Amino acid sequence: MNISGSKFGIVGGGIGGLAAALTLRQRGAVVTVFEQAPELTEVGAGLQISANGMAVLRALKVVADTPEAGLLSHGTVLRDYRAGRLVCKIVPPSAGPTYYYHRADLLDLLYKAAVQKGVEFHLGARVERVRKHPSEAEITLDTGARFRVDCAVAADGGQSAIRADLTGRETPKFTHQVAWRATIPWDRRNKNPCAVLTMGPGRHVVTYPLRDQTLMNIVAIEERSDWQEEGWRLRGDPEELKARFAGFGGLVKEILQEVKDPNIWALFLRPVAECWQNGRVALLGDAAHPTLPFMAQGACLALEDAWTLGRSFEEQSGVSQALAAYEATRRQRATRVVAAAGANARNFHLRGPMRVGAQLALMAVGSRLGRK
Ligand code: FAD
């Protein structure tokens, strides 16, 4: 289908929404992004973008062959938690390397590319609902303003409000995992920068450098049962963070001493959506398949979704056919990765003497899944 001149509305200006805007605009569509935030900024934190995500960013011409804002990963080092003893190193896959991005830098690259290509932005625009009509979709903002488009894409994240229109109301489930995130200034340059995964009973810590290794990104995950609400980016107490990971030695201990201003949130999860589209409205990214961060694949999957969506329009004869093809292509792959990330939640936190051996075996399987 030739979508040149067709109108698309994207709900959400996150990584998935911006990538979808670009892929559709590249094919000549008239694209408007509705983002509830008044500006596209992000709290400081990192993202690992593996070869699958990088391939989409390159195809969208958001990054060059040698990306400037990203830091090339030289692999992942696995360490035991007590003294930080090295267990093994997983070298970068031959399929292509992973890059570490500051989330704000990646969003900025996507946003600038979208603006340059002529994508229109409505910032501070909270979408209240999206309705399907026989030959179009209607996007309604909380101000009452309405916009008619040929197709709407809901990329409004893991707490998507639009998803309920397609799947019905769902209650998110607390996964009993709580994530702490922080960055700290860093001045130790490593010739071969790596991510370090330090696993302990009931908790793990991932650290990797960002930019030109002047920042260290920290994600610390712990199992907890005491959480009531779906929190998002709450301020955490650095003393509590240290206390909760007090059993960790080595570099993790050193790094946690430096954390001043952590964010903390409970990981709530909805399942992969049963219905991704209704012929005029489609879900994309976390809105369709929220995932635990234990394979570092959520943003990469959103990028894959965006690329597949564009290609489906190219290959199919109409909007409903394209959306059906998009869902059919993506569902199995996304479901598989979400399940593997869920399994890692257990693998990373095993207790007892078999812990490290089992973790190694399961991680190898998991990392292969992430690359396929
Ligand atoms: P989001 O990034 O959530 O964007 C949704 C956007 O929609 C937001 O800008 C929001 O403001 C907007 N919005 C919401 N509702 C509305 C509305 N009603 N109207 C208008 N706008 C709205 N993934 C990786 O690939 N690699 C990693 O290393 C990685 N690390 C992670 C670490 C942690 C601790 C966590 C929690 C996640 C991690 N992820 C990682 C996952 C990744 O962050 C997400 O999968 C990804 O951000 C999803 O992108 P998205 O565009 O679908 O949604």
Q: Which atom of ligand 1 lies closest to the CA of 18?
A: 51
Q: For 276-292, b where at least 16 C-beta lie within 10 A, e where not — what string? A: bbbbbbbbbbbbbbbbb
The count of structural domains within the chain is: 1
- Of 15, 39, 222, 371, the one to substitute when testing ligand 1's pocket (max ligand atoms within 8 A of C-beta) is 15
What is the model's pLDDT at position 86? Answer: 85
What is the model's pLDDT at position 369? Answer: 43
Say yes or no: CB of residue 290 within 6 Å of ligand 1.
Answer: no
Residue type, 87: V
What is the model's pLDDT at position 358? Answer: 59
What is the model's pLDDT at position 88? Answer: 82
Q: In angstroms, what is the span from residue 284 Cα to ligand 1's centroid?
A: 11
Say yes or no: CB of residue 157 within 6 Å of ligand 1.
Answer: yes
Range of the domain at 24: 7-42+103-170+271-346
Say yes or no: CB of residue 156 within 6 Å of ligand 1.
Answer: yes
Say yes or no: CB of residue 310 within 6 Å of ligand 1.
Answer: no
Q: In angstroms, what is the span from residue 288 Cα to ligand 1's centroid?
A: 12
CA distance 307 to 57: 9
What is the model's pLDDT at position 367? Answer: 52
Say yes or no: CB of residue 36 within 6 Å of ligand 1.
Answer: yes
8 in Cβ contact with 22 (< 8 Å): no
**pLDDT in tens for each of the 372 residues of the chain?**
999 999 999 999 999 999 999 999 999 999 999 999 998 877 668 999 999 999 999 999 999 877 778 999 999 998 989 988 888 888 776 668 899 999 999 999 999 999 999 999 999 999 999 999 999 999 999 999 999 999 999 999 999 999 998 998 888 899 999 999 999 999 988 999 999 999 898 999 999 999 999 999 999 999 998 776 665 568 899 999 999 999 999 999 999 999 999 999 889 999 999 999 999 999 999 999 999 998 899 999 999 999 999 999 999 999 999 999 999 999 999 999 999 998 887 777 777 655 666 556 655 554 554 444
Which residue(s) pair with 123 in the sheet? 35
In a domain, 362, yes or no: no
**SS3 state at 26:** helix
Q: Which atom of ligand 1 lies closest to the CA of 128?
A: 18
What is the model's pLDDT at position 363? Answer: 55
In a domain, 322, yes or no: yes
CATH number for 120? 3.50.50.60
In a domain, 28, yes or no: yes
Give residue 274's region: left, alpha or beta (phi > 0; psi -120 to 50). Answer: alpha
Say yes or no: CB of residue 47 within 6 Å of ligand 1.
Answer: yes
Say yes or no: CB of residue 265 within 6 Å of ligand 1.
Answer: no
Q: What ipTM, to 2 d.p.?
A: 0.98
Say yes or no: CB of residue 219 within 6 Å of ligand 1.
Answer: yes
What is the model's pLDDT at position 364? Answer: 58
In a domain, 109, yes or no: yes
Give nearest CA residue, ligand 1 atom 26: 296
Residue type, 273: A
Give nearest CA residue, ligand 1 atom 53: 157
Q: In angstroms, what is the span from residue 135 Cα to ligand 1's centroid?
A: 30
What is the model's pLDDT at position 372? Answer: 42
Say yes or no: CB of residue 130 within 6 Å of ligand 1.
Answer: no
In a domain, 301, yes or no: yes
In a domain, 54, yes or no: no
What is the model's pLDDT at position 84? Answer: 85
Q: In angstroms, what is the span from residue 15 Cα to ligand 1's centroid?
A: 7
pTM of the model: 0.94
Say yes or no: CB of residue 293 within 6 Å of ligand 1.
Answer: yes
In a domain, 13, yes or no: yes
Give nearest CA residue, ligand 1 atom 47: 299
Q: Is 92 exposed, middle or buried (0-12, 13-18, 19+ CB in 10 A)?
A: middle
Say yes or no: CB of residue 222 within 6 Å of ligand 1.
Answer: no
Say yes or no: CB of residue 297 within 6 Å of ligand 1.
Answer: yes
Q: In angstroms, what is the span from residue 229 Cα to ligand 1's centroid?
A: 18
Residue 368: both structure tokens together: 């292969």
Q: Which atom of ligand 1 lies closest to the CA of 156?
A: 7
Q: Which atom of ligand 1 lies closest to the CA of 265?
A: 36
- Give the residue among 281, 279, 278 at the shortest CA–CA distance from 10: 281
Give CA 204 to chain center in angstroms: 19
In a domain, 291, yes or no: yes
